[in-house]
Amino acid sequence: MSVNPVRSSPVLGDETFSWWERLSILLLGLIVCIVAAAIISETLSPGNVLDSIFQDYFLDPIRAESLADGSYNQVNTLSYNFTLILSVISIAAILRKVGISATECTIFALLPWVIWAALGEVVEDASLFGSSLESWFVSPGIHFQGAIWVILSGFIASLAAKSGQNRDDRIWVTGASIALVTFQTILFLTSLQEGRIGTSMENLLNLWPVAIFGLIAIIVVIFSHPFMEKWSSIEQGIFQVGIGGCIVLYGCLHSYIRMMLKLEESGDKSAILSIDRSAIIPETGVVEIFHPEALFWTLVVPFLALFTVYLLVGRPNLQKLKNCGISVPGLLPPGISLSDYEKERTQLHDNMESLTWKAILASPIVLIAMYGQAVDGIATGIGLAEYGYIEKHVLSSAVIEFFGSAYGFTVLKCFIGMVVWWFYALQRWEYRYRHLRILMALALMTVGLAPGLRDVFRMALGV
């Protein structure tokens, strides 16, 4: 392919921040300082203006959520969204500067942590955690906690890879992952033991499944080791700790499932009511603990739809694009600025423009982001319309009120999924923004898939 060697626009290096990246990092740092000042001021001068705002709009809703089903407000909703945008831009810039790789494996490495957050919230919704841990599994704190786990896992994996005889010794990475998964098992097991004391579950909740699934998690981490040769040590560590943590959290829910099944078999409705009042239909007195059909409509149906699109449209056109020498649809080769790409009109430009809009439907980051939006929309629709749940988010409530039906939100979220495809179909990324390209998709996936998974798991388990 021919590329004009004369460049009218300079291409910034990976080590250089754009002005908007510097501004994002500055604003994010300012937000961190304000939060730190609010926390410190609570100790030094309780009840001051900053402390009152922080308590009323941010901490009180989190406390309410940890005790029951709290609600969001306009201030914290806008603040969280603004912070998320700044975080995506800032983290992408920093990852590029320090030389962390950005491949499609990155989103697969981070995907378990989205599931981990959803499972953790469901465990908290089922009132299984003790008081010392339950507030850490309430949105949005769960996502900040998840970010800390991701950073810790990646950092320890990086150190472990350099501690062996070889420069990149993956055996040590797997060993470090096993240690962190073991720590999660002990942490969650201890919290469940604390949480059941003094409750109706004290003599009913068996904790052995948590330990057993902790052992299974370690086995899965060990067996995943040979399949991670193409992954970086950081991606490997993040994935292994995340997938192990998901299995441990499922062990917590498995304990709950076993307990409720035994109570259902025994016909002890008073015990069931003391644990979950929504498990018995008031009009008929019929016990309905689990709703597995919610998993099919919410998780399987959108998967089948998008997988069909991948097979019939995405994969064939991605192969055509690769035959033209372009491996990632929408991502420009190193050294080519966006303005020069638009001006040159070379074969590279023609191939990219003619095939990317269809080939992008084979990109994991786009498909998973679209899937996340669909899952959230369907879960919210059937949860409100069929299972009697209540919407807590300010914007979602406004959308539902506008349409007059919970399924109006389903239509909107599926439309947003199409917007995600449209954005990545048209957007062309300079090579230096390869991290931002992935993190934007990860953010779009997280804001859809995390609440969607939480909702569907709650419906399936009846919590």
In the structure encoding, which two tokens stand for residue 107, read together?
Answer: 């989103």
Q: Determine the Cα–Cα distance for residues 61 and 249; give it in Å rounded to an integer.
A: 24
Helix residue ranges per DSSP H, 225-300: 233-266, 269-275, 293-295
- In the beta sheet, which residues pair with residue 287? 280
Q: What is the pLDDT of residue 277?
A: 57
Mean pLDDT value across the chain: 86
In the structure encoding, which two tokens stand for residue 31, read together?
Answer: 């937000």
Cβ-count burial of 193 within 10 angstroms (0-12 exposed, 13-18 middle, 19+ buried)? middle
Q: Determine the Cα–Cα distance for residues 260 and 291; give it in Å rounded to an integer.
A: 13
Cα–Cα distances in angstroms (integers) from residue 280 to residues 186, 271, 287, 420, in the given order: 33, 11, 4, 40
pLDDT tens-digit series, residues 202-227: 889 999 999 999 999 999 999 999 98
Q: What is the pLDDT of residue 56?
A: 82
Q: Determine the Cα–Cα distance for residues 124 and 137; give it in Å rounded to an integer.
A: 6
Q: Determine the Cα–Cα distance for residues 122 and 456; give it in Å rounded to an integer.
A: 10
Helix (H) or strand (E) holding 8: none
Q: What is the pLDDT of residue 152?
A: 94
DSSP 155-218: HHHHHHHHHSSSTT-HHHHHHHHHHHHHHHHHHHHHHHHHHHTTSTTTTT---HHHHHHHHHHH
pLDDT tens-digit series, residues 248-298: 999 999 999 999 888 888 877 777 777 765 565 555 555 567 888 999 999
Name the residue type at position 253: L
- In the beta sheet, which residues pair with residue 175? none
Q: What is the pLDDT of residue 164?
A: 64
What's 333's DSSP letter? P
Within 8 A by CB and 6+ apart from 229, the residues are 170
- Residue 129 backbone dihedrals phi, psi, to 5 degrees: -75, 155
Q: What is the pLDDT of residue 275?
A: 74
Q: Determine the Cα–Cα distance for residues 455 and 393; give it in Å rounded to an integer.
A: 13
- Helix (H, G, I), strand (E, B), or coil: what is residue 429? strand
- Residue 8 backbone dihedrals phi, psi, to 5 degrees: -90, -15
Q: What is the pLDDT of residue 409?
A: 92
Name the residue type at position 363: S
- Helix (H, G, I), strand (E, B), or coil: what is residue 104? helix
207 closest CA partner among 255, 275, 260 = 255
Mean pLDDT by 10 residues, the chain (463 residues): 45 83 95 89 81 80 62 76 90 86 82 94 91 83 86 92 70 94 96 90 91 97 90 92 97 93 80 67 60 92 97 96 92 87 82 93 94 95 85 79 89 95 94 92 89 91 80
Cα–Cα distances in angstroms (integers) from residue 221 to residues 103, 175, 231, in the given order: 21, 9, 14
Name the residue type at position 67: L
- Residue 390 backbone dihedrals phi, psi, to 5 degrees: -120, 135
CB distance 106 to 438 below 8 Å: yes
Crossing angle between the packed helical segments 104-125 and 233-266, to the nearest 10 degrees: 30
Within 8 A by CB and 6+ apart from 64, the residues are 70, 71
